[in-house]
A = this chain, B = another copy of it.
Amino acid sequence: MVGIAALSCGGEAENQPVAAPKPPLAPQPLPPPPQATSAAPHPALALSGDEGMWLLNDFPAERLAKLHGFSPTKEWLDHVRLSSVRLALGCSGSIVSPEGLVMTNHHCASGCIQHLSTKEHDLAASGYLATNEKEERKCPGMEINQLVDISDVTERMTNATKGLTGRPYFDALKAATATVEKECSGGKDEVRCDVVSLYRGGRYHLYRYRRFQDVRLVFAPEAGVASFGGDPDNFNFPRYDLDLSLVRIYENDKPAKLEHYFKWSQAGAKDGDLTFVSGHPGRTSRLLTMAQLEFRRDIELPIRLIWLSELRGVLLQYADIGKEEQRTSAGLLHRVENAIKALKGRREALVDEPFMARKREDERALRTFVDATPALADVKGSWDALEHAQADARRLYRRYALLEGNGAFNDDLSEHAMTLVRAATELKKPNAERLPEFADAKLPALKAELFANTPIYPRLETVLLTHALTKLREGLTVDDPLVKKILGKRSPAEFAASAVKGTRLADPAVRKAIFEGRAAANTMADPMLALARLIDDEARAVRKEMEDKVDAVAKRNGELIAKARFALYGTSQYPDATFSLRLSYGVVKGFREGDRDVKPFTDFGGLFDRATGSDPFRLPPRWIAAEKKIDRGIPFNFATTNDIIGGNSGSPVINKEAELVGLIFDGNIHSLGGDFGYDGDKGRAVAVHSAGIIEALDKVYGAKRILAELGRR
């Protein structure tokens, strides 16, 4: 019942079942790779150009020196780590002043912007600028994490699950994760700890974060310029977006004093400059086997795309009703459209025959190596085991997606209800036995979202719940016992209208009371809770089957294959993305599109030329008024070869001096296959230029207080 909100910035990784521990790595020295592959790593698997989302505690400094003549020191890396932040809902950001000012994307703060808006004051339409500290307004439910420490817990996780398989293995892993995380945080709300499974189970690291839950909105431009070009221009380049927002971290009701922050570059980035992106790529699947890729190609991606496309149509037409309907649904529509484009891009990679041929060849080479390496005898059966598990995944996926997967229910009320019903069961269990999302270490974020006083729009809620129930009935069929129990003789629309009207969960105080046990989620006669109770059992059942038959197999065999990969390629590989901090390097560079060259920069002149006066190419009045003051030649957006993906939204782009030169907000269309492989030829990260940000803050918004804080005044 996790909403698709999580999709937009790669938060997905958080919603995946926890990883299974790897079995002990064979300690004996591995033989050299066999003749066929011994000369060098297989070219298709060798790193291509600026490929890589690198761990900050395992950065390929030598490789970088060789490629780009620069090698960061440990101090440089530590400073970058401590100046970078994660937005728990699924984005990245950077600290840009010693007073806790954080820069991220407009689309990463759009939830906050919408929550602070009313029918009369639509901050998405008007933009927002706090001219003093008092005007900085608290973002309900927003959480920011700063990574203060990384330690290796591979051995400990491994020992906890030694000799186990199947469900006991899975449960032991879950318990060890919860225990390690709780021990690390010491039960303190201001500390967040995550056990991160890397290399598909090849390593386990413990990430300790400083957790900030008082975050306030300082500046947001109008949506009309933040996402100028809207869906048609999304994932395109050339591009013209001021996809920026500034928020501030507070501690004890005062701006937080933070030692590390990125200074603003005087010059900004120029063509060919070396650039780093420090952020939180959400998920990649570059190490999957062919069977796993084919499951995504044939089942997961098409089903999700079909489902999201229908929801998109519903929302497009809903927004057509009137201004208020448009305002209240804009955020969700944006996330849905963003997800559709991203998933389409992933699918494109998997139906591209040359790409799949390379993947097949990679797999063949690795299997040949394993077959010829006696020390890897235990790895041999892994590909077949995964193929077998994918058959189960194909069988289970529809029900799983409808009841438990991303995106089934998108209304806030039923999502709150499900959280409350599950919490009532889970919180009675010892920490180590709970569903991972209810582990003690996860509760502060969960409560912040659940208790936040975010507005509920009954009409939109009704439309979304109607749609979800219609799809549930379609997917499970009219004769499914669960469908009959939920709907009885009612239609989805009748049920939804009456449930939205009858529930008390729109009131955060009611949600808090239920969560804290002063009212009983399991018996209370609230229609949303009743719905959640009906779904809960079935959702747990299909989740358990998916975990046992698919995830557990994927983890265990993923570890084995990781072992073979380490043996063949050494540890010069980077792990798949896991919504944890990574550093990528690249250069400012254009690309070739069909028969023309695309330059790496756009400028303000191009923005004004592209404006039509019609959505989504309509510039806000403030911009039209400022046109004459603006220098048309100042760079606005730019493209780099950095290896990024969803979750990197809001990441800082920095130069060798660790100065801020840009703000990642997108990739071009060719970068969307990045889930499965890096394309340094045409794939590009897309960022707002640091000089463009200053020009806009100065000439359009007159944001003197911020400019001074950034040291630019």
Contact = CB atoms under 8 A, between A and B. Distances in A.
Given A232-B474, A306-B306, A317-B317, A491 B614 contact: yes
Contact of A490 (B313, B344, B614): B614
Given A306-B309, A307-B309, A613 B489 contact: yes
A316 interface: yes
Interface in A308-328: 309-318, 320-321
Interface string A438-482: 000000000000000000000000010001001001100110000
Contacts of A313: 309-317, 467
A478 B233 contact: yes
A298 interface: yes
Q: Which one of A298, A299, A489, A615 has the highest number of Cβ atoms from chain B below 10 Å of its Cβ?
A: A298
Given A306-B340, A353-B394, 11 more contacts: A297-B298, A302-B305, A302-B347, A306-B309, A309-B313, A314-B314, A315-B317, A317-B317, A489-B612, A490-B614, A491-B617
A470 B302 CA distance: 21
Interface in A602-619: 612-615, 617
A494 B477 CA distance: 40
Nearest to A321: B321
Given A305-B306, A310-B310, A463-B317, A612 B490 contact: yes
A237 to B, nearest CB: 11
18 contacts: A231-B474, A232-B474, A236-B477, A297-B298, A302-B306, A302-B347, A305-B306, A306-B309, A306-B340, A307-B309, A310-B310, A311-B313, A313-B313, A317-B318, A351-B394, A489-B612, A491-B614, A491-B615
A635 interface: no
A347 B312 CA distance: 22
Interface residues of A, number: 48
A391 interface: yes
A229 interface: yes
Interface in A533-575: none
A489 B614 contact: yes
A215 to B, nearest CB: 34
A629 B604 CA distance: 77
B473 A232 contact: yes
Contacts of A470: 316
A678 to B, nearest CB: 22
Contacts of A311: 313
B478 A232 contact: yes
Contacts of A490: 612, 614
Closest 4 CB pairs of A and B: A313-B313, A317-B317, A491-B614, A298-B351
A394 B309 CA distance: 21
Q: Copy number in this complex?
A: 2
Interface string A263-306: 00000000000000000000000000000000001110010011
Contact of A309 (B310, B315, B321, B612): B310
Contacts of A478: 229, 232-233, 236, 617
Contacts of A473: 232
A14 B535 CA distance: 46
A206 to B, nearest CB: 40
A102 to B, nearest CB: 32
Contacts of A315: 313, 317
B316 A391 contact: no
Interface string A476-504: 01100000000011110010000000000
Nearest to A236: B477
Contacts of A467: 313, 316
A464 to B, nearest CB: 11
Contacts of A312: 310, 313
A320 B321 CA distance: 10
Interface-central residue, A353, A391, A494, A615, by most chain B CB under 10 Å: A353
A676 B232 CA distance: 36
A316 B492 CA distance: 13
A463 B320 CA distance: 9
Contacts of A617: 478, 491
Contacts of A302: 302, 305-306, 347
Contacts of A310: 309-310, 312-313, 316
Nearest to A291: B353
Interface in A583-618: 612-615, 617
A488 B316 CA distance: 22
A626 to B, nearest CB: 20
Nearest to A318: B317
Contacts of A488: 612
Contacts of A317: 313-318, 463
Contacts of A318: 317
B489 A299 contact: no
Contacts of A233: 478
Nearest to A352: B394
A514 to B, nearest CB: 30
A307 B306 CA distance: 8
A617 to B, nearest CB: 8
A321 B617 CA distance: 28
Contacts of A340: 306
A574 to B, nearest CB: 29
